[in-house]
Amino acid sequence: MSTTLNLESIFVEESQIPEEFRLKEEINGRGQWPTMSVADRITCVENFTHKMLEQKEIVAKLIMWEIGKSYADSIKEFDRTVEYIYATIDALKDIDRQSSRFEIEQGIVAQVRRSPLGVVLCMGPFNYPLNETFTTLIPALIMGNTLLFKPPKHGTLLHYPLLEAFRSSFPKGVVNTIYGRGNTIVPGLMKSGKINVLTLIGSSKVANELKKLHPKVNRLRAILGLDAKNAAIITKDADLDLAVSETVLGSLSFNGQRCTALKIVYVHRSLAQEFLKRLSAEVEKLKFGMPWEKGVNLTPLPELNKPEYLKDCIDDAVAHGAKVVNKNGGQTFETFVYPAIVYPVNSNMKLYREEQFGPIVPVVPFDDLEEPIEYLIGSPHGQQVSIFSTNAAVISSLIDPLVNQVSRVNINCQCQRGPDVFPFTGRKDSAEGTLSVVDALRSFSIRSLVATKFTDDNKKLLNEIVNGNDSNFLSTKYIF
């Protein structure tokens, strides 16, 4: 397959973004898409997915070239996204089947279904520019919403081969893509008041600023995946080999550029030196190179200014008494940064407080389990935590306080998203709303109902409507 792209048509001037959408029918809920039957919307998404699969190789290579993700992981991201789409279709079928009947209560007969919310402004992240974007875009779309999609600064080109699939699979005006500087384009869209749902995978600071721009905040629903500083707690009873293996995966997969990455590690002081020794040895085994090289684990970072920030974090830690304990840790070349294991990290350091989002592993020694618990209580982040221990009593003593601080407690494994049927969310500044396959469909819709008094005349009317297939909403059709 040719990988040559015509980039001339990708970018538009910011001044060309209209203040209002032209296809008002799609906005006010009267258009073809929001009033279409669930079965027909599913067919459109299935058609899109078939066309998307034809672009697999070029999309994966564009992910690899633009954000430096290994080719193997880029292929995995594509495949997982397709799996998510099909899981979403199956979940919507189940929801619609449950709604394809009437309910009678206290003399009222009604049919309750889920309806779209309106216009969704969808902004995905650079680290999973296809998968994380589509875990909000696809459920928002299949529920009948109109999309305004702005790809991230890094991770834009991969969407170009999919534009024709969108155009030919959905009615005109349903999927709208804009390009440009987010701080120039997005504020005007929010100020227009025409955005019904803001979905953003990014920082809490940006999300809060955008929400404030909406003239009627009560009309705005937000589905947000935000900051995270997931901790690992390695107790004195931990299986050290397992803890080291999971820490390497959890902290350095895709160079630590994952919201679910382990970004700070608490290790019991009695194990600290042995843990650092084994962790350093495992990091040294990781292959580094360009993303198209076979078996590569560490690759250049996509953000030009990121190495400077990471160096500043390391320098700050060293100035406050820490050391880089692994060979070559923190060395850079252009945008490549070799992983740095920093120890001992304390509360005076940036690495203790800030989400580094890169290949640095801050390690904090502790003597009492109250120390990591207090850290998580005081943290503005609340996504996940990983506990490493072979002692059931110790694990139990951590589970109960921590499930009220984070949304997921992982036992003897790294933090992660998935399986996609499980809820993915966060507390505090880490998220707003919940994304699982089913939760996402609910998040991008609202329950609506048609109701009337349960009289003979009304029963006759309802039967005429249903039997005549005159309404896509009021229907008892069963989707197989």
Distance CA 329, CA 337 (A): 8
Q: Are residues 345 and 217 part of one domain?
A: no
Backbone φ/ψ region at 193: left (φ over 0), alpha (ψ -120 to 50), beta: left
Q: Are residues 45 and 58 part of one domain?
A: yes
**Within 10 Å of residue 240's Cβ, how many Cβ atoms?**
16
pLDDT at residue 4 in the model: 35
Q: Are residues 55 and 153 part of one domain?
A: yes
pLDDT at residue 17 in the model: 44
For 303-313, what is each residue's pLDDT tens digit? Answer: 999 999 999 99
How many separate domains does the chain show?
Answer: 2
Q: Are residues 355 and 291 part of one domain?
A: yes
Q: Are residues 318 and 332 part of one domain?
A: yes
Q: Are residues 45 and 31 part of one domain?
A: yes
Q: Are residues 454 and 307 part of one domain?
A: no
Distance CA 57, CA 477 (A): 38
CATH number, domain with residue 248: 3.40.309.10
Distance CA 166, CA 154 (A): 21
pLDDT at residue 426 in the model: 98
Q: Which domain holds residue 250?
A: 230-420
**Containing H/E element for 60?**
helix 56-67
Q: Are residues 385 and 239 part of one domain?
A: yes
pLDDT at residue 27 in the model: 60
Residue whose C-alpha is closest to residue 475's, from 148, 78, 36: 36
Distance CA 278, CA 266 (A): 15
Boundary residue ending a domain (420, 442, 457): 420
Name the stretches of the chain with pLDDT < 70.
1-29
pLDDT at residue 23 in the model: 47
Tokens standing for residue 371: 């120390």
Domain membership flag for residue 458: yes
pLDDT at residue 29 in the model: 65
Q: Are residues 316 and 186 part of one domain?
A: no
Distance CA 220, CA 218 (A): 6
Distance CA 147, CA 144 (A): 9
Tokens standing for residue 467: 């039997």
Backbone φ/ψ region at 334: left (φ over 0), alpha (ψ -120 to 50), beta: left
